[in-house]
A and B are shown apart, each in its own frame.
Chain A
């Protein structure tokens, strides 16, 4: 591959990284703190290509020599795949398909010093407020492991997307540690209302109360809630929990 082509590919790839970090779509793929890394990487790519282009124009090509990179550079064609993926396809955030691939909530018992042999633990008290907004991951681990039953008698506001499995309706969200490749799903079963008309992957805000004792080892720690109200909302800017 010629150096000019390599440089154009580098500019395109750097541009793709800059585009996703400035338009906010990077949140579909990586954690928020990764933004400045993407900006820096995109800028460096464009800089490296620009330096090479300028040197080319000035006729300084003494270092590299042409030709003997032929084999190594064939792989460089693949750089076009992420470029096309970002500019033309822009894959959406992970959704109900990923939830269906996992069995249940792989929520670990909290590894705090107060953990008992059965994995139960004392969580810090919930702040006041009614309803109280909680991430799905925190709600489900409190439902499964909190010895003080802090969720009982509390109305929670849960934000996530709809997953229909068989006759059951769930609200779900994916939690990521680093990037979407390590995402794991958290889901909560919605009961007490007929919700089968909600399409998969539509975002909702649910007001609900935990049905105590529903998150058990047998059902992979998926808690069930009694729904009080459901409201459709647009997809949040950051689709993941962290």
Chain B
């Protein structure tokens, strides 16, 4: 990995007369020539483990990102801003819960929700609604809830608690945004409108072009997230989770941080926490609610797609709100710590 990163930095993408196409060719040739050197440089146990995790995160997330950009392209091409305005309730206070419920119907992973949310904002949907959808879609869809039920066969209440915690986070963040959010936090390119096209042929052209552009943009940031997750996966020793045992407050904080750091996909995280049998249910619920709402890979995607100024405000607030909602849902549904 190090080799290609160095090579990317050396590449002069904007020097006159050297186009990116030629840079790419040179990079590929260099990589091919240096393949055996590359392979031997990576022949360290920890780096190999990291490389495997990196490819795994990419292979896991890319199909869902593709689904997301296709939906995003379809919204851009076939759903006019007028139509969306008519469908959604006028008042943000009502539209936010509607967006949360819409999240149930669209089973996709967190990486897919980011381009869709951006497209909704471009189509004049209030940002509070888009934000709610962004948080709800990966967390409360049927696939995730069934996976949770399978992972916790003796604890059906865990599914309800997860649903309420995640939905609470999404709706609370939507309302908070409606009250305090500012549109200028979004990057200019996230807001740029597409020209309205009328005839059928150019609608398809819009569909293909927006989907392709979204994929190229978001794909790069997904790679950043995958790299970070791979490094942390190797560096953070998972064994120290087990020593926490009954330390409740510490357990909640550590599990929340771990959810951000490990960046697991929302259909798998339940299986991972289910195996932490020494830990009470409440910290494990916090892990399940925080993970789909915000993690390191998602932060990279949001910063790239929606703007850095948006992400540095949105991510920490989501983190705090998600912990709060998870604790409340846990106390109400699970009846305490357990």
A132: Cβ under 8 A from any B Cβ = no
Q: Name A184's contact: one of B195, B208, B272 (CB within 8 Å).
A: B272
B146: Cβ under 8 A from any A Cβ = no
CA A63 to CA B5, docked complex, whole Å: 32
Q: Which residues of B contact A72 (CB under 8 A)?
A: 189, 217, 304
Please determine whether A181 and B154 come into contact, CB atoms closer than 8 angstroms: no
A203: Cβ under 8 A from any B Cβ = no
Q: Which residues of A contact B155 (CB under 8 A)?
A: 111
Please determine whether B53 and A40 come into contact, CB atoms closer than 8 angstroms: no
A17: Cβ under 8 A from any B Cβ = yes
> From A12, which residue of chain B is reached at the shortest CB distance?
B28
Please determine whether B205 and A5 come into contact, CB atoms closer than 8 angstroms: no
A171 to nearest B CB, angstroms?
19
Given A41-B66, A69-B213, A111-B153, does the pair A77, B220 have CB atoms closer than 8 Å? yes
A138: Cβ under 8 A from any B Cβ = no
Please determine whether A41 and B48 come into contact, CB atoms closer than 8 angstroms: no
Please determine whether A41 and B62 come into contact, CB atoms closer than 8 angstroms: yes
Q: Which of B245-280 contact A (CB under 8 A)?
A: 262-265, 267-269, 271-272, 274-277
CA A181 to CA B231, docked complex, whole Å: 11
CA A182 to CA B42, docked complex, whole Å: 22
CA A4 to CA B25, docked complex, whole Å: 12
Please determine whether A71 and B208 come into contact, CB atoms closer than 8 angstroms: no
Please determine whether A48 and B215 come into contact, CB atoms closer than 8 angstroms: yes
A54 to nearest B CB, angstroms?
10
A112: Cβ under 8 A from any B Cβ = yes
Given A97-B45, A103-B239, does the pair A179, B24 have CB atoms closer than 8 Å? no
Please determine whether A82 and B274 come into contact, CB atoms closer than 8 angstroms: no
Please determine whether A71 and B152 come into contact, CB atoms closer than 8 angstroms: no
Given A55-B205, A76-B220, A101-B237, does the pair A91, B272 have CB atoms closer than 8 Å? no
CA A40 to CA B64, docked complex, whole Å: 10
Please determine whether A179 and B205 come into contact, CB atoms closer than 8 angstroms: no
Most A C-beta atoms less than 10 A away, residue of B55, B220, B226: B55
CA A80 to CA B28, docked complex, whole Å: 9
Please determine whether A48 and B212 come into contact, CB atoms closer than 8 angstroms: yes
Residues 58-76 of A, flagged 1 when their CB comes within 8 A of B and 0 if not, give 0010011000111111111
Count contacts on B: residues with CB < 8 A to the other chain. 85
A177 to nearest B CB, angstroms?
4
Please determine whether A89 and B51 come into contact, CB atoms closer than 8 angstroms: yes
Residues 218-246 of B, flagged 1 when their CB comes within 8 A of A and 0 if not, give 01110110110110011001110010000
Segment at the B interface, from A28-36, A149-157, A227-235: A28-36
Given A78-B224, A89-B39, A106-B276, does the pair A97, B271 have CB atoms closer than 8 Å? no
Provide 28 A-B residue pairs closer than 8 Å at the C-beta atoms, listed in order of the A residue: A8-B24, A17-B62, A28-B56, A29-B59, A38-B63, A52-B212, A64-B209, A69-B189, A81-B5, A81-B227, A82-B55, A84-B31, A86-B55, A88-B31, A93-B52, A94-B52, A94-B53, A96-B45, A97-B48, A98-B49, A101-B234, A103-B239, A108-B276, A115-B154, A181-B60, A182-B264, A182-B269, A184-B272
Residues of B with Cβ closer than 8 Å to A? 1, 4-5, 8, 11, 13-14, 19-21, 23-24, 27, 31-32, 35, 38-39, 42, 45-46, 48-49, 51-60, 62-63, 66, 70, 151-155, 189, 194-195, 202, 205-206, 208-209, 211-213, 215-217, 219-221, 223-224, 226-227, 229-230, 233-234, 237-239, 242, 262-265, 267-269, 271-272, 274-277, 304
Residues of A with Cβ closer than 8 Å to B? 1-2, 4-10, 13, 17, 20, 26, 28-30, 34, 37-38, 40-41, 44-45, 48-49, 51-52, 55, 60, 63-64, 68-82, 84-86, 88-89, 91-94, 96-98, 101-103, 106-109, 111-113, 115, 119, 177-182, 184, 220
